[in-house]
Amino acid sequence: MKRFFDIFAVVALAVVLLMPRPGVEVKAAVEKLDRETEQRIAELQAALLGDPGDLEAAIAVAEIYRTIHRPEWALATLGPFRERAAGDYRVYFGIAMAQAERFELPDAHDAMGRALAACAKNAGKVPCGAAPEARMRMVQNGLQRVIDSKIDPRKRPEVVAEAMFGSLRATRIEKIRTSGKPSGPPAKGAPAPR
């Protein structure tokens, strides 16, 4: 009989501790996603569940997580690939962008440096060209400006946005080529190529 009371006491304690309070409101982790995005997340998560080493699925779902304002999920997804796919610049680029969105600026700057180092080695599945490298350098320079300004990004996020987007506005691309040949004659009034 004593054993019965012990079991009953444990079950009653579990019920008391595990039952949600009446005032607790349960919400979806991500609200108001379109059906297509939900489906894509489900597909990518299923691919990662089937093969936890699927780098392409991890990068794709981490990018979606960042766009739906869940950078911590992106970090959790890409974290295991720091060692496994350290030669792929996209891993550290995704980590850096997620850390920047969380205002972990020194860590983001460090991760962007690792992305640039991986880009220089060009040992990943996807080759790192001039465009990704330029994008990473612009973001790294913006991060450095914010770090150097010693402004708390949590208190003044508009300053961070200005520093980051300021690096994009200050960049001037005179000629964009997809191959080694010029794309055609310059438009009237355009500066001559150097």
CB-based contacts of 165, cutoff 8 Å, min separation 6: 142
**Rounded to whole angstroms, how far apart are CA atoms 35 and 41?**
10
The pLDDT profile of the chain, 194 residues, written as one tens digit per residue, is: 678 888 888 888 888 787 767 777 767 777 788 899 999 999 999 999 999 999 999 999 999 999 998 999 999 999 999 988 888 999 999 999 999 989 899 999 999 999 999 999 988 889 998 999 999 998 898 889 888 888 888 888 887 777 766 655 444 444 333 334 444 455 454 445 44
Q: Where are the domains of the chain?
A: 75-169
Packed helices 89-101 and 55-67: angle between N→C axes, nearest 10 degrees: 20
Burial class of residue 91, CB neighbours in 10 A (0-12, 13-18, 19+): buried
